[in-house]
Structure 1
Amino acid sequence: MLLGSLFALLAGLMWGLVFVGPTLLADYPAVMLSFGRYLAFGLIALPLGWMDRHALRQFSRGDWLEALKLSMVGNVLYYLCLSAAIQRAGGPLPTMLIGTLPVVIAITSNLRDARRDGRLPWLKLAPSLGLIAAGIALVNQVELAHLRADPNADAGRYAVGALLALGAVVCWTWYPIRNADWLRHHTDRSPRAWATAQGLTTLPLAVLGTAGTWLWFSLTDAPWQMPFGPRPEAYVSLMLAIGLLSSWLGTLCWNEASQRLPTTLVGQLIVFETLSALAYAYLLRRTWPEPATLAGVALLVAGVMWALRVRPEPLAAEAAPH
C-alpha cells in the first residue's frame, strides 16, 4: 500500500508538468504541443523498447492493439483537449475540472470494479471524497475570483475551454480504468515494458498527426512555423522534458501504482497531479498561494490520507440457487 502510494505520488509530480507546457509556450497551437510531446515520447521509447525487447515480445497482437487505444485516448486526445483548454481558459479552470478526476474515477470504479477489487463502502468513502471535493472547490474558488476580476475575460472563450477540459476529464476517466484492467489481468508482465509499449504505439500517431498538421498549416497559410515554431530551442527542450518525465516516467510510476492498489483508491491518488499542477503554477507566477488556497490544499491532502485508511470489502457471495 505504501509503495503503491509513493509511485502514485511520483506519477502526480511528473504529470503536473504537463500543465506547464501550454503556459510557457502560449504562442504555440495545441496541436503542436500535443503531437510534439508524443513525438518526443515515441522517440524516447525507441531505445527503451530495445532494452525491453524480450518483455515486449511477450505481448500479443491484442496487447498491442490495447496499447494503441490507450495511447490514442489517454495520451494524444487527452493532451490535445487539455492544452487547448489551458490556452483558452487559462490554467485555473482546466486545473479545477481535471482536479475532479479523483472523485469521478473513484465513483466510476467503485460502481464498475467492485467484484474484482472489492467494494469500498460508500459510507467510509464519503468523508474522503467529500474532503477532496471541498478542497478542490476551495482552491478553485480563489482562482475563479481572479478570472472574474479580469476585465479582458472572454466568456465564450472560457466556455470553449471548459468544454475541452471536460473532454480531457472523460479521456482520463476512461484511461486509468482501462489501463488498470490490463495490468491487473497481466500481473506477470512488466509495468515498465507496458509504459514503453504505449510510447511505441504513440509514435506513429504523433508522426501522422505532425505530418497532417504541417500539411494543414501549409494549405491554409497558417502563421505557425513548422516543424519547431518561432522558438525552436524552447519548444524542443520542453517537449523532450515532458516526453521523458511526464509521458514515460509518469506512466511507469502510474503502472506500478495500478498493480499494487485497488482501482478505486489509485483513482483518488490522481489528486497528486492537481496539487503538483497548482504548485508549478504558483512557481511560474512567483506568488505565494492565498490562505484559502492553502486551506484547500490541506483538505485535498486530508482526503487522500483518509482514503488510504479505507480497505475494500469483498462482495457477499451470491446465494446459491435452490
Structure 2
Amino acid sequence: MLAGVLFALAAGLLWGLIFVSPLLVPEYPATMLSAGRYLAFGMIALALAWHDRHRLKRLSRGDWAEAFRLTLIGNLLYYSCLAAAIQRTGAPVSTMLIGTLPVVITITSNLLYGREEGRLAWGKLMPALLLIIVGLACVNVAELRGAPQHIEWDRYLSGIALAIMAVICWTWYPLRNARWLRANPDKKPGTWATAQGVATLPLALLAWLLVALMMNWTIPGFVLPFGPRPEVFIPLMLAIGLFCSWIGALCWNEACQRLPTVLVGPLIVFETLAGLAYTFMLRQSWPPLLTLTGIACLIIGVLIAIRIKPEPIVAPLDISP
C-alpha cells in the first residue's frame, strides 16, 4: 500500500509538468503539442522495446488492441483537449477542472466496479462532491477577476468544454488501465508502459502528418515541420515524452498493480496539486486567496473520499469493452 501511494505521488509530480508545457510555447497549436509529445513518447518506447522484446512477445493480440485503445483515448485525445483548454482558459482553471478527477473517477469506479471491489456509500461521498464544486467556483472567480476586461467568452467557454472532455477521457483511461493491470499481475508495469508507447507511435505519426497538412492550409506562414522555435519545441517534447509519458506511466502502472481500483481516483490529486504549484512557480507569484481556498477544498474533499471504507464484495474481474 505504501509503495503504491509513493508511486502515485511520483507519477503526479511528473504529470504536473504537462500543465505548464503549453504555456512555454503558446504559439504552437494544441494538436501539434499533442502529436509532438506522443511522437517523442513512441520513439522513446521503440528504443526501449528492444530491451524488453521477450516480455512484449508474450502480449496477445487482445493486449495490443487494449494498448491501442488506451493510448488513443488516454494519450492523444486527452492531451489535445487539455492543451487546447489551457491555452484558452489559463492553466489554473483547466488544472482545477482536471482536479475533479479524484472524485469523478471514484464515483465511476463505484458505479461500474462497486460490486466487485467494494461499494462506497453515496451519502458519505456527497460532502466531497460539494467541496470540489466550491473549490472550482473559487478558482474560476479568482481567474476571472484577473482576466482582461474584454474577455473572449467564446474562447473561454470552449476551453471549459475541452477541459471537461479531457476529464471524460482521463476518467476512462486510468480505470481501464488499472483493471487490466490488476487482471494481469504477471505482466510487468514497465512492459505495459512500453507497449502503450509502441502503440502510440503510428497514431502520433499519422496525427503529426494531419496536423502539418492542416496548418499548411490554414496557417501558411507557420514554419514546418517543427514550428518557429524548434530549439525549444523539440527538447520540450522529448522531455515530456520521457518524463511525463513513459516514466509517469511506469510509476502509475506500478501504483495500479498495488492498489484497489477504488483508491486510484483520489490519488490523482497529486497531479492536480503539482500542476498548480508549477504554474504559479512559472508565474513567479503566490496564488490569490480564492485560489488557495479552492485548493484547500479540493484537498479536504479528496481526503474525505479516501477515508470512506468500501464494503468488499468478491467477484471476478471483467475488462471486456
Q: Which residue of 2 is the match for residue 222 of structure 1?
A: 220
* 1:212-259 deviation per Cα after TM superposition (whole angstroms, max 9, x unaligned): 222233344532211111000100111111111111111111111111
Q: Deviations over 1:94-140 (max 9, x none)?
A: 22321111111111110110122112333444444444454444344
Closer/same/farther in 2, CA of residues 20 and 177 from structure 1, 3 Å limit: same
Q: How does 1:170-189 map to 2 (within 5 A)?
A: 170-189=168-187
Structure-2 residue corresponding to 1:320? none
Whether 2:118 is the aligned partner of 1:118: answer yes
Which range moved further: 208-217 or 273-282? 208-217
* Residues 172-211 of structure 1 aligned to structure 2 (within 5 Å): 172-211=170-209
Unpaired runs of at least 5, structure 1: 318-322
Unaligned ranges ≥5, structure 2: 316-321
| Structure 2 CA distance for partners of 1:254 and 1:144, relative to 1, 3 Å | farther
Match of 1:153 in 2: 151
Q: How does 1:95-174 map to 2 (within 5 A)?
A: 95-147=95-147, 150-174=148-172
* Contact 2:193 2:253 (8 Å CA) reproduced: yes
TM-score, scaled relative to structure 2? 0.91
Answer with 86-95 or 270-279: which moved more: 86-95
Q: Does the 8 Å contact 2:70/2:196 carry over to 1?
A: yes
Instruction: Find the counterpart in structure 2 of residue 244 from structure 1.
Output: 242
Deviates more, 1:252-261 or 1:302-311: 302-311
Q: Tell me which amino acid in the other structure corresponds to 1:120.
A: L
1:276 aligned onto 2:274: yes
- Whole-angstrom distance in 2 between the partners of 1:292 and 1:156: 24
* Worse overlay, 131-140 or 286-295: 131-140
Instruction: Say which SS state the counterpart of residue 113 (structure 1) adopts.
Output: helix
CA distance in 2, matches of 1:126, 1:52: 45
Question: Which stretch of structure 1 is more off in the superposition, 298-307 or 102-111?
Answer: 298-307
Q: 1:78 offset after TM fit, Å?
A: 0.6
Distance 1:223 1:101 in 2: 38
Task: Name the count of aligned residue pairs.
Answer: 315
Deviation at residue 298 of structure 1 after TM alignment: 3.3
Q: Which residue of 2 aligns with 1:285?
A: 283
Cα deviation for residue 307 of structure 1 reads 3.8
Per-residue displacement from partner, 1:123-160 (whole Å, max 9, x unpaired)?
Answer: 4444444444544443444233323xx21310011111
Partners in 2 of 1:136 and 1:92 — Cα distance? 10
Could you state the TM-score of these two structures normalised by the residue count of structure 1?
0.91
CA-CA distance at 1:28 after TM superposition? 0.5
Q: Over aligned residues, Cα RMSD in angstroms? A: 2.0
Larger CA deviation: 10-19 vs 212-221: 212-221
What is aligned with 2:93?
Answer: 93
Relative distance call for 1:203 and 1:286 in structure 2 (3 A) is same
- Checking the alignment, whether the CA contact within 8 Å between 2:194 and 2:246 is kept in structure 1 is yes
Check conservation: 1:28, 1:224, Cα contact below 8 A: no
